[in-house]
Amino acid sequence: MSHLLLLGAGFSRNWGGWLANEAFEYLLGCPEIIGNAQARQMLWKHQGQGGFEAALAEVQREYVLHAHELLPALQALQGAVKSMFRDMNRGFNGLDMLNFSDNGEASVSRFLTRFDAIFTLNQDLLLELKYMQPENAFLLLQSQRRWAGCELPGMTRAIPTDSRISGSWAESMWYQLPQDQFKLDPQFQPVYKLHGSSNWMHSHGQDLMIIGGAKLAEIDRTPILSWYLTRFEEEISKPGAKLMVIGYGFRDQHVNDAITRAVAKGLKVFVIAPEGADLARQNNPTRRPGQIMAPTADEAMFEQALIGASRRSLREIFGTDRAEFDKVMRFFAG
């Protein structure tokens, strides 16, 4: 039986990371957006549906047809998004640790070591800074007598020339290896960043980060991310697989489709989110007043696969709420 973890923005939110609506508000205050009327207009246009990613997606589409006219808006949005991740990562760097209290076995860090693989849609560096970084991870993981540390499969680190940060995973740029070197080391816990990361780069110098529209098409064109998505579906489709989902709103169709196919093969799912077991129903627009209700595939998937949920924050689960912690830990039983 394998125990797998999928993280979304709601995971990082527990340590101050921004959700989509908060990202929208951050971007409005960026000099790049203040100085570009088109970019600002696009953000407001998509505020209620899709947020900054939908705004960026429209600018990306229009840029293909009207490059000269849209280039300033595209650069403004991309620059503001970079600033957002830089500030978010700076905030994470100021944290002492992931744990909310010195509670030993009931800590977030030890909880993370229990998983056979971690998949994340987040492009921030919270895990690199407070979990995966060698001085944070290795002793903890080795103490579990299972892992020698963490790895980002298929990626290689360019070591900074500044000796003060030469060992920092977060301060380094990461590049994908040749495809024939995409492999796993069984000694290390794999962490797959399904949409890339804010410190990943293509060899030609562009950011290796999937934001905006046509995510699946971009993933298909990016060997490392295509391999990651394949690995995700392979792992969750194994007999007896269990997937814990923390802070993911089930709004990326390619991820939902992979989960749905795996559920048909027996995958069981546990969700930690403010909406709990109601998450799929709340995502269904036909359940709003005045609409003709039509159940969705995600609702059917929840009904078939869900083996529990928690609406509590991680600060509560791994802090003072022992009963909720015990409920979450049932995921590893059996």
Q: Which residues contact 294 (CB under 8 A, 6 or more apart)?
A: 284, 286
Residue of 50, 51, 2, 58 lying closest to 26 (CA atoms): 51
- What b/e sequence results for 105-140 when a residue is b if at least 16 CB atoms lie within 10 Å of its CB, and e otherwise? ebbbbbbbbebbbbbbbbbbbbbbbbbbbeebbbeb
Overall residue count recorded for the chain in this entry:
334
Q: How far is CA 14 from the centre of its chain?
A: 13
Least confident among 69-83, 149-163, 244-258, 282-296 = 282-296
- Under the banding of pLDDT at 50, 70 and 90, the label for residue 286 is confident
- 67-91 per-position pLDDT tens digit: 888 899 989 999 999 999 999 999 9
Q: Which residues contact 105 (CB under 8 A, 6 or more apart)?
A: none
- 95-130 per-position pLDDT tens digit: 888 888 766 677 898 899 999 999 999 999 999 999
CA end-to-end distance (rounded Å), the chain: 9
Residue type, 89: N
pLDDT the model gives residue 137: 58
Rounded Cα distance between 51 and 42, Å, is 9
Tokens at 119, concatenated: 């998949």
Rounded Cα distance between 111 and 159, Å, is 29
- Under the banding of pLDDT at 50, 70 and 90, the label for residue 143 is low
| pLDDT at residue 155 tops 80 | yes
Judge if pTM exceeds 0.75.
Answer: yes
Q: What percent of the chain has pLDDT over 70?
A: 95
